[in-house]
Every structure is written in structure tokens, then in C-alpha cells.
Amino acid sequence: SNEEFLVQLEKLSKATSLSGSVSLSLKRYNEGVNCFPSHKKEVIDPKQNHCLIRAVCKERKISTIVPTSEVAS
């Protein structure tokens, strides 16, 4: 869940407060749509767009999927 992701992200952040870093990445995610589409243009309803958020710290990786309507721009 998104709440669990935030809890884990806070733990990663605290663990690296003195040394180390946490890398965050955001990527558009559309479930059921080919991530590597062919030359065909796929029509995607903007209401179905999601955002994949990943955090990496050393070998620890966490991620969550959030509707784009909940992501601040």
C-alpha cells in the first residue's frame, strides 16, 4: 500500500541520515499496456494513467503505484 511505502521510505531516510543516500524515481505506468510498444500508437485514457514510484538504498528497493491524479506536479 502507499502508506506502507511511505513508512518504509521514512525508515530508509533515517537509516541514511548520517551517511548514504536514497534515490527516488518516478515513471509513467499503465497496467496492461505494453511497456515497449511497437510502432503502433496505443490510445490510452488519461484517467487510467498511473505513476510507478521507486526508492533504492544500497540493495534495498521499494516501490508503489499511484494514480497520477494523486501525484503533485
Question: What confidence score (pLDDT) does residue 16 get?
Answer: 86
Whole-angstrom distance, CA of residue 71 vs CA of residue 66 = 7
In this predicted structure, the answer to whether residue 62 has a pLDDT above a threshold of 80 is yes
The residues near 70 (Cβ < 8 Å, ≥ 6 apart) are none
Consecutive H or E run containing 53:
strand 50-57
Which residue in 53, 51, 70, 52 sits closest to 9, CA to CA?
A: 53
Question: What confidence score (pLDDT) does residue 54 get?
Answer: 94
| Mean pLDDT estimate for the chain | 81
The structure's pTM equals 0.73
The position carrying cell 496505443 is: 42
18-45: pLDDT as tens digits: 888 999 998 888 776 655 555 556 666 6
Phi, psi of 4, deg, nearest 5: -65, -40
What secondary structure letter does DSSP report for 18? S
